[in-house]
Chain A
Amino acid sequence: MSGSQSSLREANRALIVETVHRHGGLTQVELAGATGLSAATVSTIVKELLAAGVVDTRSTTRSGRRAQMVTLARRVGLAVGIHIGHRHMRIALGDVTHEVVAEQTLPLPHEHRVDTSLDRAALLIADLLERVGSSLDEVVGIGIGVPAPVDAATGMISVRGIMRGWDEVHIAHVLSKRLARPVFVDNDANLGALAESALGASRGYRDSVYVRASYGTGAGIVLGGQLHRGFAGTAGEIGHVQVDPQGDICRCGSRGCLDTVVGAQALLEPLRASHGTMALRDVIQRAMDGDPGCARVIADAGASIGAVVAGLAMAVNPQCVVVGGELAETGEMLLGPLREAIRQRVLLNQIAPLEVLPAELGHRAEVIGAIELVLQSTDFVLRSDEPVRALAEAVGDD
C-alpha cells in the first residue's frame, strides 16, 4: 500500500470516529451521509473499528427498516454527569473509562428554578440514553455539580442564599425519585478538581488546587489524591473570602466577598458605559479578539483571584494550581496576573515550586468530574460478563 493511500485510510477512520462521537450513535447509512464517504468505505472501516474495539454495533430500526447503529465502544455500564451552572446545564454520558459517549447543553435563564431545571435534566438524560441506544438499566449512577457548597452527607447545599430557591432542596432525592438511580451531588469546583486530578492538568500530582473562574469563583482541593471537602462541604469556597471590607453585600450575606469583585455582574458593570450591555461570554470573546477594555477587566480579575488563591495555597501547600472555568478560556490573559499575584505572596520553597497551570478539560471538567464521582462512589467492577443490573442493585437504592 502506498503512503498516501494508508494516510487516507487513517484520515477516513478518524473522520468516522469523530462523527460517531459527535452524534452519539449513527446508522451506517447516516454515517455515509454525514461524512460523504461511500457506503462500502464506511462498512469496511466500521468492521475494522469493531475488530479494534473502538466502536460497537447493534441492530436498530430506521423508518421501518433494519439498520446497524454504530456507537463508541463502551465498557460495561454508563454514568451520567450533570453540571448545573448559572446560565447553562450540561449533561454527559460516560463509561467507566471516562469516555464521554454523548453530551447535551441547555442554556438556562438567570435565577432558573430548581424544580424546572431538575425536571429538564431528567428529560435530557432520557433523550441522551435513547440517542446512544441505551436505557436507564445501564446507568450505574448520576453525578450532579452545582455552583454552591454541598454537604456530602445530605446532598444539599450547605450555605443559604447562594442559589436562590435551591436551599432546603434534597437535590439527590428529587432526581433519584424520577430516575430510580443513585444520585451524588457535589460542588462544581470540587468536581472540576476531581476531573483534572484524574485525567487533566493535575493528574501527575498528589496535592493540587483547582480554581473555577466563572459566574462565581470556587476552588476544589485535592490532598494525597483525595478530594478534601471539609466538614460541611465548604472547603475551597474562595468566592466568599472577603477582599473589600467596604464592598457590596454578597448573596451569602457577607460584605465584599471575592464574588462581589470578580463575579459576572461585577465584571460586566464597569464595561457598561463603554461597551453597552454584554453577556459574560462576549467579554471573554472580545478580550481574546484584542479589545483592551475587556482584556483589562479579565487581567484585573486574575490578579484579584490570584491574591485569594495565594492564601489558599499558603494554607494547603499544593504542588500546583489548575485554573479552569469560562474566564480561563482567555489563557494567559487571566493566568499571567493570577500567577504573578500568587508569586508575590506565597512562600517559595526549595522542594517544589508552585505551578499555575491552565485546565486541560475545558468546559467539560465538571461533567467529567461528576462521572468520576459516580464511578468512585459506586463499587464498580470492570467485568464485561457481569450483568449491570446486579451491580446497580448491589450499589444501593435511592
Chain B
Amino acid sequence: MSVSARVPLLSLRQISKRFGAVEALVGVDVDVHAHEVVALVGDNGAGKSTLAKIISGVLAPDSGIIEIGGEEQTIASPSAAHALGIATVFQDLALAGNLDVTSNIFLGRELTDGMLLDDGKMEQVARQILRDLTLRIPSVRTPLSELSAGQRQAVAIARTLIGSPRIVVLDEPTAALSVAQTAEVLTYIERLRDLGLGVILISHNMNDVRAVSDRIEVLRHGRNNGSFDAATASYESILAAITGATTLSESLVRHSAAMR
C-alpha cells in the first residue's frame, strides 16, 4: 500500500446511514486527494448514491466523521457543501432546458454588476470554462434544449467549476451517452483531475471507471469491499469484489502480495 504524506481533500471515516430497517451504509471509509479520481463502484443498492448524497449535503450521516482538508466538518446542506468546495452533478443534471448554456452555468450564482446581471462577464467566463475543459460546445448562446445529451452533461460539469470547487462528485455521468459523448466526458474528467481537483466518480461502466480513475473503491451492501489501483487491477478482480466472490480481507491479502 502506498504511503502518501498529502492530507486528503475529503476524508470519510466510518460513515453509517440507515433508513428505517435498511442499513444503507455501514462504517464506510473513503479518501479523496487532490489530483485524483476515485471511483465508487458496486451493484445497485450498494450505497453509492447514499454516499454521494451525504457528501453533497443532501443527507446527513447517522454516525462517522467527515474531514475536509484535514478539518472535521458537518455538511449541513447543499449550499454548505458548495461553500466547503464540493460540487456535485447528479444524474438528473438539474439544468433549465429553456435557458442557454451561459445561464445554466451560472444558474443560482449569477454575476451582477450593481443591481443588474452582468451578461457580458458571464458569457466571457462561460467561454473560458468551456475552453479550460476543451468542451465541444460551439456557442454559449445555444438553448440547452438544442444540445445533445453529451453536451448537456458537459454543461452540467462546466457548472461545477463556478465557485472554484476542490472536490467534484459525478453520479453516473456517462449513463445513456454515445461512445463519442462518453469520450468527451471522460476527457473532461481527466482535465478536472489535471487541474488539481479531487473527483469522485460513481459509475456502472467498468470501462469508463478503469479508463480515468486512479483508485476504485468497491461498496457492497453498504460496506467497503475492496480498494483497487486502477492502473494495475484486472477487471475480473474488481468484478469479484462487486459481486462478493471475494471479500475485503481476501482482496487485501491479494493486493499486498501483488505489491511485494
Give chain A's interface residues, CB within 8 Å of chain B. 19, 22-23, 26, 29-34, 36, 62-63, 87, 104-112, 116, 120, 123-124, 127-128, 265, 272-273, 276-277, 279, 281-282, 285
Mind listing 6 A-B residue pairs with CB under 8 Å? Answer: A23-B136, A33-B139, A36-B127, A123-B178, A127-B179, A276-B3
On whether the beta carbons of A33 and B212 are closer than 8 Å, the reply is: no
Complex CA gap A45/B209 in Å reads 44
Within the complex, what minimum Cβ distance (angstroms) separates B176 from chain A?
15
Residues of A within 8 Å of B229, CB to CB, are 277
Interfacial residues of chain B within 118-169, with CB under 8 A of chain A in the complex: 123, 127, 136, 138-142, 146
On whether the beta carbons of A33 and B138 are closer than 8 Å, the reply is: yes
Complex CA gap A285/B179 in Å reads 28
On whether the beta carbons of B186 and A107 are closer than 8 Å, the reply is: yes
A29 CB contact (under 8 Å) in B139, B209, B212: B139
B223-243 CB contact bits vs A (8 Å, 1 = yes)? Answer: 000000111101100000000
Complex CA gap A105/B189 in Å reads 13
B183: CB under 8 A from chain A? yes
A276 CB contact (under 8 Å) in B6, B182, B209, B234: B6
Closest A residue by C-beta to B206: A109
B171-187 CB contact bits vs A (8 Å, 1 = yes)? Answer: 00000001110111011
Q: What is the interface of chain A mostly: helix, strand, loop, or mixed?
A: helix
On whether the beta carbons of B210 and A110 are closer than 8 Å, the reply is: yes
On whether the beta carbons of B211 and A277 are closer than 8 Å, the reply is: no
B138 CB contact (under 8 Å) in A26, A110, A123, A279: A26
B211 CB contact (under 8 Å) in A23, A109, A273: A109
B249: CB under 8 A from chain A? no
On whether the beta carbons of B140 and A109 are closer than 8 Å, the reply is: no
Within the complex, what minimum Cβ distance (angstroms) separates A5 from chain B?
23
Closest A residue by C-beta to B215: A277
Assuming the A-B contacts A105-B187, A106-B179, A276-B2, are A34 and B138 also in contact, with contact meaning beta carbons closer than 8 angstroms in the complex?
yes
Within the complex, what minimum Cβ distance (angstroms) separates B241 from chain A?
16
Complex CA gap A120/B211 in Å reads 14
Closest B residue by C-beta to A27: B138
Assuming the A-B contacts A110-B230, A282-B35, are A116 and B207 also in contact, with contact meaning beta carbons closer than 8 angstroms in the complex?
yes
Assuming the A-B contacts A107-B187, A124-B183, A276-B4, are A33 and B210 also in contact, with contact meaning beta carbons closer than 8 angstroms in the complex?
no
Residues of A within 8 Å of B232, CB to CB, are 110, 265
